[in-house]
Structure 1
């Protein structure tokens, strides 16, 4: 399989994995926030009743979880493609 064909063939897989990663990360964040804060909903940045510290903590936690889940899914997807095709995707 040519380099260009492999690259194009991996694009839809990467997109589907990205969507799945976003869904998983959103679920994980909600559960972690619930455990950490005792509140069912994380604060929105424009929520007037929430303080800066709570908003920044929620944003930092959410960013860390999303980045970690994305890295795990991307790396796992690439490793799966290598097992199937014998080559690492670009």
Structure 2
């Protein structure tokens, strides 16, 4: 498969994997937040009853989890495509 076709063929797979990664990361973040903060829901940035430290900690944790899950899913998808097609997606 040529590079252009390979890239186009992988696009829909990448989009679906991105959506799945977002859902998984959201679920993981909610569970981690419950365990670390002992609180049911992470604070919103506009939550008047929460302090700066708690809001920024939640945002940092959420960002880290999303980045790790997204990287793992993207890498796994690329490995899967290579196994199926013999070519690494660009």
TM-score for the superposition, normalised by structure 2: 0.99
What is the number of residues matched between the two proteins?
Answer: 90
Distance 1:52 1:4 in 2: 47
Q: CA deviation at 1:22?
A: 0.0
Once the two structures are superposed, the pairs formed by residues 1-90 of structure 1 within 5 Å of their partners are 1-90=1-90
Higher relative contact order at CA 8 Å, sep ≥6: structure 1 or structure 2? 2
Gaps of 5+ in 2: none
CA RMSD, Structure 1 to Structure 2 (Å): 0.4
**Distance apart, 1:3 and its partner CA:** 1.3
Tell me how far apart the structure 2 counterparts of residues 11 and 48 of structure 1 sit (CA, whole Å). 41
Q: For 2:14 and 2:20, locate their aligned partners in 1 and report how far apart those are by CA, in whole Å.
A: 10
Q: Which runs of 4+ in 1 moved over 2 A?
A: none
